[in-house]
Amino acid sequence: MQSDTATPQSPQELAAGLRQAGYLPGASTALVSFLAIKLGKPVLVEGPAGVGKTELAKAIATYLDRTLVRLQCYEGLDEAKALYEWNYRKQLLRIQTESQQAGWENVQDDIFGEEFLLPRPLMTAIASPEPVVLLIDEIDKTDQEFEAMLLELLSDFQISIPELGRIEARTQPVVLLTSNNTRELTEALKRRCLYLWLDYPTLEHELQIVRLHAPELDETVARKLTEIIHQVRELDLKKPPSIAESIDWARTLLLLGAGDIDHTTFTETMSVIVKHRTDLDTVAARVGVALQQADASAA
């Protein structure tokens, strides 16, 4: 099995590479990703929505210059959609074009060959001649049977197909699994993975991320935006704003040409960062009113 051990040489080097790919990793993100690449172990990335779990996999793929193979998980996802499926139509055609004398034995050997397989993301990642980055996104949406199926793949990087035997990985993929923590994953799965908890970033870190995504936004506005986002997160909300909302808000303010976040601007745009009726009321009452008072005392 080939593995790409040439790059990177340190977590710092990886962090710099990810930054170039447009992703600003925290220290633990850089360290765990570095270990994942070097040790060839999958990483389980958990954390709230919109904190950069999916984006991390994309950035690692860009940095390593590898193809990103993505399996988006959902309830009811099965092997046929995740692993492989037999191409029944092609098999049927093959049987029909076979002469009458060929006999079932011959045809059977033939139609259960690789040529008649439809590879799905997991198989694609395993069989790829070039090493890839495999993203198994939102694994918590699947059930425990699916997780059990993944175990063989994650520990041995191989897949068993009853009619064909074992398919072993030719190259070592970097594997990232993400979870929003909607259900507890099995211990067996966790044991095979490195673990990364991605939380909301610190104020300074988030400010850098916002400035990276909206470089034209004035720095004082960007700072105020980040401070407000952090205040809003302190409130007891159904859905606190994530980095995704901070970035959307920064872009909104840019589009509107806002030079400051005063009470009016805030009330007009707060639905970009808060998306529940009751949360809107809470935020308007707490943060909105504070801004109004600040505006009044500045005037």
Contact residues for ligand ATP, defined by CB under 6 A: 23-25, 49-55, 178, 180, 209, 212, 243-244, 247
Position closest to ligand ATP via CB:
52
Identify which of residues 42 and 169 has a Cβ nearer to ligand ATP in the complex. 42
Angle between helices 203-213 and 219-234 (to 10 degrees): 130
Cβ contacts of 209-218, under 8 Å, gap ≥ 24: 209/24, 209/243, 209/246, 209/247, 210/246, 210/247, 210/250, 212/22, 212/24, 213/247, 213/250, 213/251, 214/247, 214/250, 214/251, 214/254, 216/254, 217/250, 217/253, 217/254, 218/259
Cβ at position 141, least distance to ligand ATP in Å: 11
> Cis omega (within 30 of 0) on the bond before 173?
no
Taking the complex as a whole, the smallest distance from the CB of residue 41 to Mg ion amounts, in Å, to 21
Cβ–Cβ under 8 Å, residues 127 and 159: no
Minimal distance, residue 82 CB to ligand ATP, in Å = 18
Residue 58 or 126 having the CB closest to ligand ATP? 58
Question: Which of 136/243 has CB closer to ligand ATP?
Answer: 243
Nearer to Mg ion, 54 or 67 (CB): 54
Residues 47-76, mask of contacts with Mg ion (x by CB under 5 A): -------x----------------------
Q: Which is nearer to ligand ATP, 47 or 131 (CB)?
A: 47
CB 246 within 8 A of CB 284: no
Smallest separation (angstroms) from ligand ATP to the CB of 190:
18
* 180 touches Mg ion by CB under 5 A: no
Closest CB to ligand ATP among residues 25, 240: 25
Do 193 and 43 touch, CB atoms closer than 8 A? yes
Return the one option of ligand ATP, Mg ion, none that residue 49 interacts with (CB less than 5 to 8 A, by type).
ligand ATP
The site partner of 180 among ligand ATP, Mg ion, none (C-beta below 5 to 8 Å per kind) is ligand ATP
Say how far apart CA 287 and CA 266 lie, in whole Å. Answer: 9
What distance in Å separates the CA atoms of residue 27 and residue 22, rounded to the nearest whole number?
Answer: 16
CB of 26 to ligand ATP, least distance (A): 7
Shortest Cβ 208–ligand ATP spacing (Å): 8
Between 21 and 280, CB nearer to Mg ion: 21
In the list ligand ATP, Mg ion, none, the entry touching 243 (Cβ below 5 to 8 angstroms by class) is: ligand ATP
For Mg ion, the nearest residue by Cβ is: 54
**Residue 51 touches which member of ligand ATP, Mg ion, none, C-beta under 5-8 Å by kind:** ligand ATP
Residues near Mg ion (CB under 5 A) are: 54
